[in-house]
Amino acid sequence: MNPIENRPAKLPTPLRVVVIGAGIVGAACAIELLRDGHHVTLLDPGQPGGTQAASYGNAAWLSPASVVPMSMPGLWKKLPKYLFDKNSPLTIRWSALPSLLPWLTRFVWAGASVARVEATARALSALLHDAPSRHRALAQEAGVPQLIVSRGLLYAYPDRAAFEAEALAWRLRRDNAVRWKELEAPAIRELVPALDHRYQFAILVEQGANCVDPGAYVAALVRHAQSQGAILQRAAATGFDLQGGRLRAVLTDRGELTCERAVIAAGIHSKALARSVGDKVCMESERGYHIVLENPPVELALPVMPADAKTGNTSTLTGLRIAGQVELTRLHAEPDWRRADTLLRHAAATYPALAAAIGTAAVQRWMGHRPSTTDGRPVLGPASGCQDVIHAFGHGHVGLASGPVSGRLVADLISGRPTVVDPAPYSVTRF
C-alpha cells in the first residue's frame, strides 16, 4: 500500500509541529506530517536508532498476526507461577509488586473475557493488517529497501495438540483476516533445517515480514525526514507551555520550542508528559531482553517463534537475534541479565547446532522498555487537557509493526482530515 494515497500534497495552513521521540513511531509521524507540508522538529535526547530505544531491540517482526493481547482469559491463574518461576516468559520482581498492583489489576481485567480480547484484537488489526506493505514503501522511500524482508513468519510447535491448545489466539487471528498454512515435519525441515526435530508441526504466516536491522532502519527514516525538511533537536522534553488552553511551546532541558502542535511519541517516557496535559495513563514498562549471537552456525531463512520458548528468532545483519521475555519491575531497576541467559538456553535447545558453539560465540545482551498499557492498545489521539497535543505512545509489543499507520493517523488528526483508521479504540479517555 502506498502511504500517500488519497491525500492532498500540501495543506493550506502549515503548522509548526514538535514530535517528541525519534523512535519508529516518532519517525513515522514526522514523515507523514512533512508530506502535508508542516514544519517538523523531532525532539529526542538520544541517537535515533540507538541502543537506548525500544525500536532498537525488538524481535524485528512485522506481523499482521500480532493481534493477540498479552492479557487473555485465565491469566490470573498463572500469576503465582510468574512470581516464583524465574524461567517463565513473564516474570515479576517481588520488590516492585506493590507499585505494580494497579497496573496488574487492570491488566488482568482487560483480558478477563473473550469479548474484551476480541475488541483489542480488532483494534490492533487495524494498525497491523498491512504493516509489511507499509514498511516496504517507507523503506523504499528512505533508500533502504534491503532492510525489509518478506518471507513470512513461522510459529513452531511440538505437535498439533500444542497448536490447538492456543485455539483462542488463532481464532482471534483468523477473525481478523490473518491466513496461514499448516506444515508438517518434512516441510518444516525444508524451510528451517536447523530447527530441532522435536518441532513436528508449524504455522506459516506468509503475510508476515521482518526487518534485518531495526536500529539502522529507524535511523534511516529519521535521516529521510531530515532530508525532507525536519529538524532533529537533541534534547529532552520536560513539559508544555499552555496559554488559554492552547499550546504555545514545548519545554525542554535546553530551552523552549515554539509550536502550534506537539506529538508525544516518547515511549515509556510519555507517561509523565501525558500527565502534564491532563491524562493519567495506566502504562508500565514490560521490559524486554534480547541476545544476538554473532557469526552463528545457524542462519534462518525466515523468522521463527518456538511455541515452548515464546521467543522471536530472527537472522539480522549483526547475527541471530533471540528476543523475548517480559519482566515487570520498577522503571529504573537494574537489568536482570539472567533473563538474557534464559534466552541463550532457549536458543541452544531450539537449534542443536548452536549448543556446541555457544561456549565460544560472541553474545550481545540488551534490555529495553516496552511502553505497555493494560489492554495492549496504544494511546493515539488528542490529550484531554489540550487538543493541540496528540498522544502517540504505548504500543507495547507492536511498536515497530504499527509505526506507519500510527504516524498516518497522527498526521490525519493534525491536518483535520478523515483518519486512516477510527481513533476511538485508542483514546486516552478509556483510562
Per-residue pLDDT reduced to its tens digit, 371-380 = 999 999 999 9
pLDDT single digits (tens) 369-420: 999 999 999 999 999 999 999 999 999 999 999 999 999 999 999 999 999 9
Q: What's the confidence (pLDDT) of residue 10?
A: 59
Q: What's the confidence (pLDDT) of residue 3?
A: 46
Query: pTM of the full predicted structure?
Result: 0.95
- Is 346 within 8 Å of 322 (Cβ atoms)? yes
pLDDT single digits (tens) 137-152: 999 999 999 999 999 9
- Proportion of the chain above pLDDT 90, given as a percent: 89
Band (pLDDT 50/70/90 cuts) for residue 80 is confident
∠ at Cα 410 (45, 138), nearest 5°?
75
All 3 cell numbers of residue 68? 493477540
Residue 212 phi, psi (nearest 5) = -90, -5
Mean pLDDT computed over 312-341 = 94
Residue 66 phi, psi (nearest 5) = -85, 45
pLDDT single digits (tens) 225-271: 999 999 999 999 999 999 999 999 999 999 999 999 999 999 999 99
Band (pLDDT 50/70/90 cuts) for residue 6 is low
| CATH classification (class only), 16-430 | alpha beta
Mean pLDDT computed over 17-44 = 98
Q: What's the confidence (pLDDT) of residue 291?
A: 97
- Is 431 within 8 Å of 282 (Cβ atoms)? yes
H or E segment at 372?
strand 363-373
Q: What's the confidence (pLDDT) of residue 27?
A: 98
pLDDT single digits (tens) 178-230: 999 999 999 999 999 999 999 999 999 999 999 999 999 999 999 999 999 99
* Average pLDDT value for the chain: 94
- Is 58 within 8 Å of 288 (Cβ atoms)? yes
- Proportion of the chain above pLDDT 70, given as a percent: 97
Band (pLDDT 50/70/90 cuts) for residue 57 is very high
> At a CB cut-off of 8 Å and minimum separation 6, what does 88 contact?
81, 82
pLDDT higher than threshold 70 for residue 5: no
